[in-house]
Structure 1
Amino acid sequence: KVVETAKKYGMRIIGPNGLGVFDNYSGVDTQFVPELKEYSGKMLLATPRPKPGNILFGSQSGALGIAILDALYGANIGIAKFVSYGNKVDVDETDMLLWAYKDPKIDVIMLYIEGIKQAGRHFVEVGNEVSKKKPIVVLKGGRTAAGARAAASHTGSLAGDYRMYEAAFKKMGAIVCETLDEFIDTVKAFSMQPPARGYRITIITDGGGAGLLATDASERYGLEVNPPSDTLMNELKKGIEMGKLVPFSTFSNPIDVTGSATDESFVYTLRAVLNDENTDCVMIIGLHHVPGVTDRLPEKLLETIKSCGTYKPVVFCDVGGAEYALKFRDKFENAGIPAYPTPERAAAVLKKLADYGVWLVNQGEYDNYLKTWISKRG
């Protein structure tokens, strides 16, 4: 009856069984969970709103939705809008895709979905068109038999066979995540970097062991870790002659600039790698513990990326949990380069960026997407 009445007067309904909506740009905020909560006699921030950004986040679960908002806040990831759509008697995932498609402030769509009640084919058809312009990152709850039962009691969703959902998501170009950490890591990368045209990764590192872990993870996820081309090898050898790289650097991929590296070692190597036609994406492992690496490395690498004009995705990794590591990774992200505390997490997001880029290539849309991406970022 509520739906019938709303339709009669041209109104839309979000919910029920949701926690409201939040728009960082209009100021609309109907979430009813208090931002502050008492802890040991003090009022602490408990339900924060992330900073303004370019992500639409739709969640079928209200409680998980605001928990993810909290995680996005902690990871310094900005969003444009959040919708907790619950049991979706009216507004559903397809509506949000269409909304995001038209909104110039939204570049990335992230969806937590438990089940699609009806019009699944229409959702895939719309998603296929939206994905040509904006990446859709999906986390599906209720993938197992027990999880499906829980979803039915939680939001009344018929979770169905996860393999069918996964096939449908991939058909429409959506990026499917398996864990909450992967969900957040992936949207961070997509909000900052372009997709990769292919799966060929080049790894630059100042630590041999970290480079080996990155290599193993990259191959395990499905990236191609190939030896450097003759052209790239010649450029790297030239770097030794010019004094940019030490003579005992190794170039097998990973390119190990060693613990004697300086900021200029990374700058020279990154420029050579970005200009290499056989590289689709780049992982930089810059362990800050190396004496010659300074806190100015993020700005120098960003300037290198901009001056090359090749628009290949670059992610950064620095392992550590002390104050310097935290500030170092934050500085990279403020420069628009997503940073991760382990090589495995960096490799996982590069695979997602490559999956999406290859899908765009197969749709004949990669060049159009990249042109729009470049225009929005100046």
Structure 2
Amino acid sequence: MADPTGAPRMISVAFQHHLGQLPFDVRFEAPAGVTALFGPSGAGKSTTLKVIAGLESPKTGMVTIAGKTLLDTERGVNLRPEARGLGVVFQEPRLFSHMSVRRNLLFGAGFRKGGTLGLDEVAGLLGISALLDRDCPSLSGGEAQRVAIGRALLSAPHALILDEPLASLDQSRKSEILPYLARLRDHLAMPMLLVTHDLNDVAQLADYMVLMDTGRTIASGPVTDILADPVVAPRLGIAQMGAVITGQLNAHFDDGLSQLNCAGGTLLVPLTDDPLGTRYKLRVLAKDITISLSQPKDVSALNTWPAIVRAIRRGDGPGALVTLECGGDMLLARLTKRSLDGLELREGQACWAMLKTMSMAPAQIGA
């Protein structure tokens, strides 16, 4: 779905606003792919989406997409929501219950002309071809949400706005829909803004991340950089600190383990039934990383990688965070200040990172 003007598929957002007593100062850019808006409740994520979609008018600001200005308060530009060319999907599917799946999808297609995706292609991408003649009330939560996404796609949008589309689904339904969202990310050359409260969703789906708090943009950039940054990691919560690495499945073993090839070396994980060659993004928690100054021997940890210390941040309490570079992958390790001082760690120092194989739950492993 290349833009006919040749303009890059980029959302650029910069606005200042007040909502009650909360001042907003939001600035970020979202390229093609999935950009996750992440932060605690009340951080301003949904308000930001409303400004982009034209449902909220800020005091000052600008929003552009693919070179088209949607909002520019200095020039008096503020396009109506229906003129912005955005596909919006909410937490609840909001399907028309009196219409079949097919008619719901075609409603989107009739809303805006000029799309390059047809009904059959969208249904195939989302795995809903067999559902076209079903009544919407008979759909599961995951099926209904996929239909809602398909309806938005068929409106020929310049970008997709996904406001917590997974929040109302249980884990099994969420696992059902995640691969389809990943397929859209890889197939469509458009920005997709995803609001979520789950860092596992961020790790599996997002290429970029915007971290928000109290109406402000705290950090933005590639997910691998943000999640491995010891400066911003404490804002994610101690239990949520970690990094994202990628790997390709290259072996299965009879003892219940599978092996991935990663930039830092091979990685053993709990058995997956995916075929060899499958690519994964894995979220590795900081609490599960151990550091050694020498190559580990006679230890139970099966995953040991040579590493370089890239950053150290001491916390206010007894802990510290260490960013490690492992063959191009960045890991974040959480250890005590006593361990940090005992090892005499410093930036640029060579060491070894150890990761327990069983520390990675299935939710942290995704294609």
TM over 0.5: no
By relative contact order (CA 8 Å, sep 6+), the higher-ranking structure is 2
Greater fraction helix: 1
TM-score computed with the length of structure 1 as normaliser: 0.26
